[in-house]
Structure 1
């Protein structure tokens, strides 16, 4: 069995890890209370808390990758370093448009490559990297094409499974239940979801809504762009830089107009009528983005702030979703 590298940030290219002969696993976390003594992180979002705990206790992982995109995750890196699993902090610049910054990201990938070879990986040849990129690109295209055959929850689960395992068994996510297509089209926007939050998709459907755009970090927004097949063969590593660092929109970017360009395109194409803005109480990045989003869009926005302790099923949130959907009828 290949050695596993765990991480959560979408700016870490899974293809780069796989090309080194290791198994990339981008995790969708499950909420968990802190049980590890050196994993106690007070006052941080539960997603970071859960990943820190996972990094300290995962017996299958041979390496951990964290990034500087999230300040809380960056601080969590110091705690993970106290554990027994080798950890790597990847510098992902918030600015992204200048060629010098793209060069810095490329240098970080090369530095990451040295970390991976130190764990038993092998330095990939260009043709090997290109072949793996084609495999992953084809798998992503397949998942995107299957959207109409899955419920909103099944679709997000399929993306999460692909991120974690490099493939997704679409049939496993189909239940034989009729797919809802006539609900009020909604988008869910925000940072990464916990697995427990996936019940939100069911709750929204029960209330008469339908998530047609999962714009969370763990959803469609966190997927890299499709590869240009010609550039992939000519310069695979640079195409990897373009598809990940140059194309994934996020609230952390400066400027983050790329995020709103993506919103404008996707919200219009899905005919979205309302936005559910789901954020962690302690996430400064997305908390600050709420005001700008409301100023930018004419669509109604429902702000749902959670602490990651099972609120998705709380009466308060269910009632607010019910009222929001009813308002849009």
Structure 2
């Protein structure tokens, strides 16, 4: 490895938000090329067409999930049948926050350490509509996001009215995100929006396609490719069900597929010596809606990365949180 420890410290980002997302920062220029203000999301109770499939929105593949039922639960077993309504739009607010704190040697000869802290928080209102004749597709419009970062917050107003869409597989599993920020928006705002939505969708909760009852438990396994490609194992418990509204408890653990950490925007790689990332939370889904109506998840962990000098490791602490709230 030829990368310097200091360069690696500045560049060691993963998938989610500013400290852990790669796609938005690396591909911001691509977003500029394909965005437009012209097409707006449908204003009806459902979306007349899946406009985001043909209007030049950037298409982002989302990781597939393999679901295994560990226990069917007790009482009457019923399918978690997803039947998105076309009678009204869904209004939700997504909030994500990421924090990365890194400690690395300043130089080969200096024994002092450089400490760097990177944080990004975004609150995004979303109005979503199921495509009228396709319950596997969702179109959405973004309201005006906000952020605690004053520099970023001042750029977010230009995103108001940005559009996009989602495609779903059985079990409410999102498979593809399409995103089209307004032309007037700048790269930092576009990147923050993409990172927030992709980060949240990486933790979308798949549903089993077989009947289950209260206390049912299933496992979802997906591979999330990023600076460090990880296997994400999510254990889901059906805590309660009231008609179409289902509350699910979550426990999540992530482990690297290999020891390679690819520095975003560079051909350089680091070696993952140690890695941990786990968390828990809960989410409420309405089987008539494709986005969660409530819930929160907190992920925390750390990693030790080695560059060209194994005696000068980079130590990182990472945290990612997300919350869904129903909007009035």
Do both proteins adopt the same fold according to a TM-score greater than 0.5, normalized to the shorter chain?
Answer: no
Give 1 or 2: higher strand fraction. 2
Give 1 or 2: higher helix fraction. 1
**TM range, normalised to the smaller chain?**
under 0.3
Larger Cα Rg: Structure 1 or Structure 2? 2
TM-score using structure 2 length: 0.25
TM-score using structure 1 length: 0.25
